[in-house]
Structure 1
Amino acid sequence: MDQTGGFLFPPLGENKPSNDPLIIQAAVFNIEVWRVYLDSGSECNVIFEHCFLKLPDALRARKVDPQGLLIGFSGEHAWPLGEIDVDITISDGIYEKTETLDLSKVRSPLPYNILLGRTAMQRLEMVPSGIHRLVKFQSETGIGTIKQISDVKRAEDRSSSVPKDTQEEENTIKIIVNPNYPYQTISIGIHFSDGCKHKLRKLLQPNMDIFAWEYKDMTGVPRVLTLEGKPFVTEHRLNERKHIEPVHQKKRSLSADRDKAARKEVEELLQAGIVRESTYPVWVANPVMVKKGDGGWRMCVDFTNINKACPKDCHPLPEIDWKVESLTEHKLKCFLNLLLSKNAICFKERRSYVPKVGRQGLRHTNRKEPGSIC
């Protein structure tokens, strides 16, 4: 400390200024925690979920419901998973300082365990210097100096090298609902209690018959429903503009693996009665094979021409962010997504819209439209 009462940092000399994030080590109730990120641009203090789950049960029981929103740099809003007050201690081996801080629990794939913002730095009387890789703090007995931990880059590189899908798999467990289809599983978060996981299995397994596990299970919606004693037609038709001529797209060749996947998909649709052969098609479009995350293929259809020929939908889908935020007051969120769990609506017979499939030019027209194809 100099004569004016401020902190002194050593001159850089020949060392280059650092632009790495300032990461230190701290203690939470005498539990050593690595990768504590000091963020002078943040007003809140955060404990990330993967760190929170490793705390003892007695500490996790101190969590309470969140009191407010978290607002990001660009104005986006998010609700934390809860709040917890903990005693955080920083030390350089000689001097130490302890303060009680309120931390917001947040789920994020970042490689850090805790993020300390401006309020924490003020309470702990910390003065960070990123270019020096040092943090100085005022204790009751003197001024302490903490050096940045040496494995910051390795921690960040290790996090960035792990694919997002792998990170999600580590945070979930997969259960089999239908033993006849073991490859179709449901993911449950590892943070759920054993009792909650058991109740979910007990709920899903006895009711597995309500899901469509194969194309043949898609019985579809009847062409005519009776509502209040009156018939109601539920057929789907193309509402194209009359002055636009139908378009027959030129056939596009598929690679061997795509062609094989498309043929298999068409055969399954044929056996289920969802599509049928068309001799005189009106609209003809090419299939587009999209690689799925599990290594398989999803068959979509190039609707570019038909979308241009049909009027725009004046009823857009609701903002997905608003729908997610509306769930914040609920304890559990269900993102159940089983294969082929959509209803099928029959096409009107007078017109046909045909995807061309295969190298031999196999053509089929939809009888039922299982929601969105892609």
Structure 2
Amino acid sequence: MYEHCFRLLPELLLSQLIAPSTALHGFSGESTWQVGIIELELELVDEDNKEMVRSTIVEYSVVRSYSRYNALLGHTTLQMLGAIPSIVHGLVKFPTPLGIAAISSESLDTIYSAVELTDETTKFKLRDILTTNIDVFARTKVDMTGVPREIVEHKLSANPSITPVRQKKRGLAHAWSEWLKVEVDKLVKANILREVRYQTWVANTLLVKTSDGSSQMCVDFTDINKA
């Protein structure tokens, strides 16, 4: 199980993480130290009837590594389920009390573009490009983390002679303040933000109305942009 998925579990389950005793070794010889080990119940649910068809206890190794997946099931778990996977067909079949069940890989049925395309050929070409490269797009906040620094790293080239600016706190209505706390908490859990005790630059958060009428959290980086 990848750490970004583990951090989304309820606090009660997070506390059940056991400290690791060994490292994990890949096929190419690389090693990574586990965040921990946790036992969870794996439930397979029929989406049509909303009924559980199989369940089993799985021991997950929680690792800190980039992946667009939440978790990977190893041979031991597949064997426990009596599952037979087919990579060619993107399909896994396994027995249940109600008969043989199948899990198929999902495809993206709908893609929205900011540009209104009138030519049908162009639409199909765009759809092909996006579906073929769907793994490079971030769908949630969690998907935006974990890119290795050797691939891409950002740096602010601020003028060191400019004194850091600490903006005065701006008051917000209670409802908006609570909403912002929730949004910030999501970013912290996704490891996009982290708490800093001794700040240098301080910028206020803002609420910006989007075209669809919803609100989006932004940060007023006016001062640091000037630097």
Q: What TM-score, normalized to structure 1?
A: 0.32
Q: 1:148: how far off?
A: 1.3
Partner amino acid, structure 2, of 1:65: A
Give the structure 1 partner of residue 67 of structure 2. 110
Give the structure 1 partner of residue 30 of structure 2. 76
Give the structure 2 partner of residue 150 of structure 1. 107
Give the structure 2 partner of residue 123 of structure 1. 80
Aligned residue pairs, count: 139
Q: 1:141: how far off?
A: 3.3
Partner amino acid, structure 1, of 2:65: S
2:66, 2:165 → 1: CA distance?
Answer: 29
Partner amino acid, structure 2, of 1:181: P
Give the structure 1 partner of residue 164 of structure 2. 181
1:77, 1:149 → 2: CA distance?
Answer: 31
**Is structure 2 residue 20 aligned with structure 1 residue 66?**
yes
Q: 1:129: how far off?
A: 0.9
1:126, 1:168 → 2: CA distance?
Answer: 41
Q: 1:134: how far off?
A: 1.5
SS of the residue 1:123 aligns to: helix
SS of the residue 1:116 aligns to: coil
1:182, 1:86 → 2: CA distance?
Answer: 47
Q: 1:91: how far off?
A: 3.4
Give the structure 2 partner of residue 55 of structure 1. 9
Verify the 8 A CA contact 1:111 1:155 in the aligned structure 2. no
Question: Residues 137, 192 of structure 1: CA spacing in aligned structure 2 closer, same or farther, 3 A cutoff?
Answer: closer
Q: Where does structure 1 lack aligned partners over 5 or more consecutive residues? A: 1-46, 170-178, 184-188, 209-374
1:106, 1:168 → 2: CA distance?
Answer: 21
1:4-60 per-residue CA deviation (whole Å, 9 max, x = no partner) reads: xxxxxxxxxxxxxxxxxxxxxxxxxxxxxxxxxxxxxxxxxxx11111111111121
The percentage of counterpart residues that share the same residue type is 32
Q: What TM-score, normalized to structure 2?
A: 0.50
Partner amino acid, structure 1, of 2:57: T
SS of the residue 1:51 aligns to: helix
SS of the residue 1:190 aligns to: helix
1:61-97 per-residue CA deviation (whole Å, 9 max, x = no partner) reads: 1111113210011112211111111111123446721
Partner amino acid, structure 1, of 2:14: R
Q: 1:154: how far off?
A: 5.9
SS of the residue 1:110 aligns to: coil
Partner amino acid, structure 2, of 1:83: I
Verify the 8 A CA contact 1:49 1:105 in the aligned structure 2. yes
2:190, 2:89 → 1: CA distance?
Answer: 42
Give the 5 Å matches for 1:254-293. Answer: none
Give the structure 1 partner of residue 188 of structure 2. 190
SS of the residue 1:181 aligns to: coil
Question: Residues 147, 59 of structure 1: CA spacing in aligned structure 2 closer, same or farther, 3 A cutoff?
Answer: same
Cα RMSD after superposing both structures: 3.8
